[in-house]
Amino acid sequence: MIEVTFNIHGQKITGKRWGKEGGIPVIALHGWLDNANSFDFIAPELPELDLLVLEFAGHGGSDHRPRHTPYLGLLYIQDIIAVADQLNWQRFGLLAHSMGAELSTHMLGLYPDRVERMFGVDGFAASTTPAKWLEDTRKSLDENINRQAGAMRQFASAEDMAAKVADSTGQTQASAEALVARGAELVGGAYSWRSDARVRWSDALSLPDEIVEHIVASYPGQIMIAGASDGSNWYKPTIERLEGKYDNLHYIIFPGSHHLHMDDDTSKLVAAIREFFELEQQQLIAS
């Protein structure tokens, strides 16, 4: 693994690169408020990939956006494509968790010529009515115009910080500690998050029902969503409505938390990822 940094129009985007150059190019995208350590538990099991784990703006080591620039989903996607362009990756796969999987679904519609296939971990685009989409989008814009960011909560120790994360999300203490290790900073003798407080004002990432269905129906590649039995439900009504309707959309529930890819036992998930990206075939060819 190596640390990587990209300059996107004067803004620093950081991440981690696993595997080997010349392997299958895959961009990994973490969830809301997480960071690049999100994939530390499974990346070593995918050595055939050239796995680039990016950190969204305002998360981890990536720069915060200027005060007048909101954390919009389209800007996240713009950064991802700009990084792929810098790497000369015209085609790449996506391996994404939660918000990262939601944005990946948007990318299938916006850049179907660039994304070869997508594997989502407990996340997918949530759909809504056009009226609700307009309402949510306006609320997001108004919030960015008028709301002032407060101070981030402070903790006496990194362990206390991780315990709070684990309690809030239902993930293991070990996985919470991994996120804190990269996401925390020491400020005045106390631990706090490095992330921009404004990322907590989540952009309205749901799409109108018709758009989500069009994305899946028109996308030429394969989509696999690994849901978690004890995970999130915000996206499930959408994918359950579409499951079985389109041959390129596959949905399976795994036992585990929302941070399924960071649970104590990731073996079944890793096996599904390896099969989806056809890595067993790659091993046979190499041998």
98 is catalytic: yes
Residue 228, SS3 per DSSP: strand
- Name the 3-class secondary structure at 268: helix
Tell me which of 38, 98, 192, 206 is the catalytic residue. 98
DSSP reduced 3-state for 239: helix
Q: How far apart are CA 262 and CA 21, in angstroms?
A: 25
Q: Which residues of 131-161 are buried (b: 16+ CB within 10 A; e: fewer)?
A: eebeebeeebeeebeeeeeeebeebeeeeeb
Q: How far apart are CA 261 and CA 96, in angstroms?
A: 10
- Measured distance between the N- and C-terminal CA atoms of the chain, rounded to whole angstroms: 23
Instruction: Take residue 278 and report the two structure tokens written for it.
Output: 């056809």
Q: Which residues are catalytic?
A: 98
